Amino acid sequence: MLLSLVVHTYSLRYWFPATIMLGTAPAYLLSWGAWRLLSTVLPARVYHKLDDRLYCIYQSMVLFFFENYTGVEIVIYGDIPKNKENVIYLSNHQCTADWIIADMLAIRQSAIGHVRYVLKDGLKWLPLYGWYFSQHGGIYVKRSAKFNEKAMKKKLSTQTQSGAPMYLVIFPEGTRYNPELKNVIADSQAFATKEGLAVLKHTLTPRMKASHIAIETMRGHLDAVYDVTVAYEGTLGPSGRRKPAPSMPEFLCKECPRVHIHFDRVDIEEIPPEPVFFRRWLHERFEMKDRLLTDFYESEDADKIHKFPREGKPSPLKLSKTLPSVLILGGLTLPLLMTENGRKLYVRTWVYGTLLGWLWLKA
């Protein structure tokens, strides 16, 4: 009985926030849909402005659970600009919680509504979210020969021409680094060797195409690239071997006590436009990440292990940044659930939203 209670309590740590995040999605989608219809006769710039504001409300609610609810400590190495900028965010990729880390940095610049993602193609099938991320400016890409360069350029050009603020998140590795997937790591290292590139130990060999296209398509619109390296504390096993980073459920179950974020701003003018030089530049950035992560996981100095160089500053997120969004979305959702017609509308939004997303993506 006691064990069952413990297991049940543990699962509630995840199911409680997950239920609220998913449960408020239909109310959010209805609000966004109403604005989308109203804005059809308005300039695209006006649509993007309120769309970004709505997105800010929803993502701030998500961060209430990932930061305030979990109590995770965010430690930042480097200085995040106080002013909003049009940027591309390049980071190492380890787990499904990585996209939340981008939100964590963006909200500290009051730029969370501007966040858009380059996502792997399979994620477009997520009910509601897959379709909406595309509507908000996200880009789905396939790997290798199936990569649609023309479609990516067209979408980015459309957004920049409309003046949409940009905080574009890209994970150049293309897939997650998992220390338990030895074959994936071996293939990545073999590719680096074949191409005459430095072999990386704690990241995969970065792919350049999406990053290069994004930077060159939007070069006149961008201020900088944010080069971010993330390490999750608690991912070093007793034997000294690196363990997989926490999944989103594990993160919500408070299994990650601290996240270390190394931040480096690179002015857009410092990035070479030529593909061959850009590839070298990107790989050199990942060599730097690899050294940072090697020191983080393998340093023999007790004062340096589980840390990045330079002084790390804890960066708590004020409750005032997130709690109002929880109350707003809760206030929109509860009336839908209190009447029979509201519940029907709620369910139909889920069903029709999912179907509409599927049909739109198949077209």
Check residue 101 and give its pLDDT: 96
* Across 3-7, 136-140, 195-199, 222-226, least confident range: 3-7
Quick check: 162 pLDDT over 60? yes
Quick check: 170 pLDDT over 90? yes
Q: For residue range 306-345, what is the model confidence (pLDDT) as tens digits?
A: 899 888 999 999 999 999 999 998 887 776 666 666 566 5
Q: For residue range 22-43, what is the model confidence (pLDDT) as tens digits?
A: 778 878 888 888 888 888 888 8
Q: For residue range 272-312, what is the model confidence (pLDDT) as tens digits?
A: 999 999 999 999 999 999 999 999 998 888 778 889 988 89
Check residue 145 and give its pLDDT: 65
Contact criterion met (CB below 8 Å) for 174 and 207 = yes
Is the pTM here over 0.85, yes or no?
yes
Check residue 117 and give its pLDDT: 95
Question: Which band of pLDDT confidence, cut at 50, 70 and 90, is reported for residue 88?
Answer: very high
Q: How far apart are CA 81 and CA 67, in angstroms?
A: 21
| C-alpha dihedral sign at 326, 332, 337, 343 | negative
DSSP state of 112: G
**Of residues 17 and 180, more confidently modeled:** 180
Question: Percent of the chain, pLDDT > 90?
Answer: 57
Q: Is 338 buried (19+), middle (13-18) or exposed (0-12) by CB count in 10 A?
A: exposed
Quick check: 355 pLDDT over 60? no
Question: Which band of pLDDT confidence, cut at 50, 70 and 90, is reported for residue 155?
Answer: very high
Contact criterion met (CB below 8 Å) for 89 and 214 = no
Q: Average pLDDT for residues 93-100, to the nearest whole number?
A: 93
Quick check: 133 pLDDT over 90? no
Q: Average pLDDT for residues 233-251, to the nearest whole number?
A: 87
Kindly report the average pLDDT of the chain as a whole number. 86
Q: Average pLDDT for residues 142-148, to the nearest whole number?
A: 76
Check residue 360 and give its pLDDT: 39
Check residue 45 and give its pLDDT: 85
Q: How far apart are CA 293 and CA 173, in angstroms?
A: 15
Q: Average pLDDT for residues 351-355, to the nearest whole number?
A: 51
Break the chain into its structural domains and give their ranges: 71-326
Q: Average pLDDT for residues 70-74, to the nearest whole number?
A: 95
Check residue 13 and give its pLDDT: 79
**Of residues 45 and 316, more confidently modeled:** 316
Q: How far apart are CA 214 and CA 65, in angstroms?
A: 31
Quick check: 243 pLDDT over 50? yes
Residue 180 phi, psi dihedral angles, 5° rounding: -85, -15
Check residue 340 and give its pLDDT: 64
